Amino acid sequence: MDPISKFIPAPVIHVPQLGEITLGSYLIQRLVELGVGHIFGIPGDYVLGFMKKVEASPIEIVGTTNELCAGYAADAYARVRGLGVCCVTYAVGGFSLANAIAGAYAEKSPVILISGAPGVRERLRKGLLHHMVGDSGTQRRVFEQITAASCVLDDPLIAAREIDRVLAVCLQTKQPVYIEIPRDKLDMLVQPGNKHLNETPQSDPNELAEAIGEASWLLGRSSSPVLVAGIEVHRYNLESKVLAFAEKHNLPIASTLLSKSVVPERHPLYVGTYLGGMGRPETTKFIEESDRILLLGVPLTDLDTGIFTHQLPPEKTMFVTNNIVGIRYHTYQHVLLGDFIDGLSGCSLPTFKRSVPLVDNPINAPWTLEDPQTPIKVQRLFQKINSILGENHTIVADPGDAMFGAVDLSVHSGSEFLGSAFYATLGWAVPAAIGVQTGRPSTRPIVLVGDGAFQMTGFELSTAVRRGLDPIVILFNNKGYLTERFILEGKFNDIQDWNFHKLPEVLQGGKGYEVWTEGELDLALTEVLAIRGQFCLIHVHLETGDFSPALKRLALALSKA
């Protein structure tokens, strides 16, 4: 025997135990159990092994043109399906996703980020490895700032429990989580534990009773109350409960920009979208003059309040979000939104007799074409879009005047309105439409996007071609960054003009239209509604100084302020 060999420990041969499963297989199994049908991402060597396992599973990988677009698509997928997943390699892939994950975190969208990483053994033996920046924990530390939970799956004793923990947090908080897999740990055997390690959050019974008691007492003595349903109502699937409560008591109900379409906008109790000074004056006046304002799941952001031009005095406001309730100047800190709605729905409250105001919204007027040669204006563009909306359409709006103008659209029952309406990241809408139609094939997205935003991510329509998706993209070409011009004019707002309508030639799929006049717009939208199976891009030329009625209202409100 070699004299040195006695000092070398014999190799440890692990005998699989009953119930053990490989790490990669367990993660995929849990995603399937939670209803995930697609993962958006870009391959890279540190994540190839996991992607190969996904490819052999019921989950389909949707390759995008870049990692940022994968994040936007997963975000939108989560908004229509309840959970989205994106998967990338280490650092060059992960850091490219940071902006999308930050937006999902800010707007409470449950996205799982799965990142491959250098193997544990190679980090120890080989030192500097490609894609790494700093030590091996750098990427996790970055994402800890913009996710609700994170884990690195490098320990077989706790890996399964860590997966279950972060998935539970994602579903409970409706915010992104981060899962990192060292590539040499993908096939390690793990022992599944309790899939419900975290107890289901519960309201404090005493605080809940007090909050409901105070709210019902105030509402019972109100003569002109109103309900504003926010984004958390949608995220926690409480739309039907909130609408049933409003119908039971004939309580007028409004949405915010972030929660637009949380209730059917042609419902007789619907007041409109509340946006402070940016909203329609009839809606704003009706809500702000109410003697009791019940805000359910509404974070008061600057965009939801028309850059804080709202008038919602605390003495008549009941502010209810998940985990905290504020009623006048009283605060209840351990009350869940769903429990509050259930409790309030069980109270004896009057049937209110307040009439919903008639809103003078020219965009809702029937579309008539008088002179086909008339140059198209923004207001008329939105009026035409409003006229074609059907129950199988989902409006996906990019930040800027495309989104502000969409405030006045009347979304049908069964439709959706999606936008980056708080984080407001340009370039969100086109890749988001890929996520929307992948997650909900029965819908047809109508994308509203400016020329500047389109130049950031518009080539994601390549994925639409490859997958046979057919979003309708309406591109607002006002020669640069209009909203920034509105704030401060300068040459920095100029961009290179493109022949956007010729993009189908580059992508070898889709159909493009160039529109200057009302007649051309009318013809293009009539045609694209009949075209299925390929994207359609309508390139609309607009005057640089022309903007939507909503943006004009905001300018007036800010000038008064």
421 lies in the same domain as 380: yes
Does 312 share its domain with 375?
Answer: no
Residue 229 sits in the same domain as residue 109: no
Task: Please count the structural domains in the chain.
Answer: 3
Asked if residue 195 is part of any domain, the answer here is no
Residues 323 and 295 in one domain: yes
For 449-471, give one letter per residue: b (16+ CB within 10 A) or e: bbbbbbbbbbbbbbbbeeeebbb
Distance in angstroms (rounded) separating the CA atoms of residues 502 and 256: 36
Domain assignment of residue 553, yes or no = yes
Task: Identify whether the C-beta of residue 363 lies closer than 8 Å to the C-beta of residue 379.
Answer: yes
Same domain as 219, residue 137: no
Q: Domain check: are 271 and 307 in the same one?
A: yes
Cα separation, 450 vs 7, in Å, equals 69
Indicate if 175 and 228 belong to the same structural domain: no
> What does residue 325 show for φ and ψ, rounded to 5 degrees?
-130, 130
Tell whether 200 is covered by a domain.
no
CA distance 394 to 174: 21
User: What strand order describes the sheet that includes 60-63?
Assistant: 60-63, 38-41, 84-88, 111-117, 177-182, 149-152
Task: State residue 292 phi and psi, 5-degree precision.
Answer: -145, 125
Same domain, 501 and 534: yes
Asked whether residue 15 is assigned to any structural domain, the reply reads no
Question: Does residue 6 lie within any of the structural domains?
Answer: no
Are 225 and 164 within one domain?
no
Q: Is 353 a domain residue?
A: no
For residues 420 and 62, the answer to whether their CB atoms sit within 8 Å is no
- Cα distance from N-terminal residue to C-terminal residue, the chain: 90
Q: Distance (Å, rounded) from C-alpha 446 to C-alpha 222?
A: 41
Spatial separation of the C-alpha atoms in residues 118 and 136, rounded to whole Å:
8
Do the beta carbons of residue 396 and residue 446 sit within 8 Å? yes
Please check whether residue 479 is in contact with residue 451, taking contact to mean a CB–CB distance below 8 angstroms: yes
E strand or H helix at 13, and its extent?
Answer: none
Instruction: Kindly state the tokens that stand for 198.
Output: 């975290």
Q: What is the pTM of this model?
A: 0.92
CATH assignment at residue 163:
3.40.50.970
* DSSP annotation of 459: G
Angle, alpha carbons 485-543-445 (nearest 5°): 90
Buried b (16+ CB within 10 A) or exposed e, 411-424: bbeebbbbbbbbbb
Instruction: State the residue range of the domain holding 113.
Output: 20-190
Kindly state whether residue 107 falls inside one of the protein's structural domains. Answer: yes
Half-sphere exposure of residue 214: CA atoms within 13 angstroms, side-chain side: 20
Among 142, 157, 190, residue at a domain's last position: 190
SS3 label, residue 501: helix
Task: Please report whether residue 11 resides in a domain.
Answer: no
**Domain final position from 190, 222, 241:** 190
CATH number reported for the structural domain that contains residue 229 in this entry: 3.40.50.1220
Q: Are residues 326 and 368 both part of a single domain?
A: no
- Domain match, 528 and 393 both: yes
pLDDT in tens, the chain (561 residues): 444 444 344 444 454 554 689 999 999 999 999 999 999 999 999 999 999 999 999 999 999 999 999 999 999 999 999 999 999 999 999 999 999 999 999 999 999 999 999 988 887 766 667 777 777 788 999 999 999 999 999 999 999 999 999 999 999 999 999 999 999 999 999 988 766 555 678 899 999 999 999 999 999 999 999 999 999 999 999 999 999 999 999 999 999 999 999 988 889 999 999 988 778 889 999 999 999 999 999 988 877 777 777 788 888 999 999 988 999 889 999 999 999 999 999 999 999 998 898 888 888 889 999 899 999 999 999 999 999 998 899 999 999 899 999 999 988 766 689 999 888 899 999 999 999 999 999 999 999 999 999 999 999 999 999 999 999 999 999 988 887 877 788 898 889 999 999 999 999 999 999 999 999 999 999 999 999 999 999 999 999 888 888 888 877 766 665
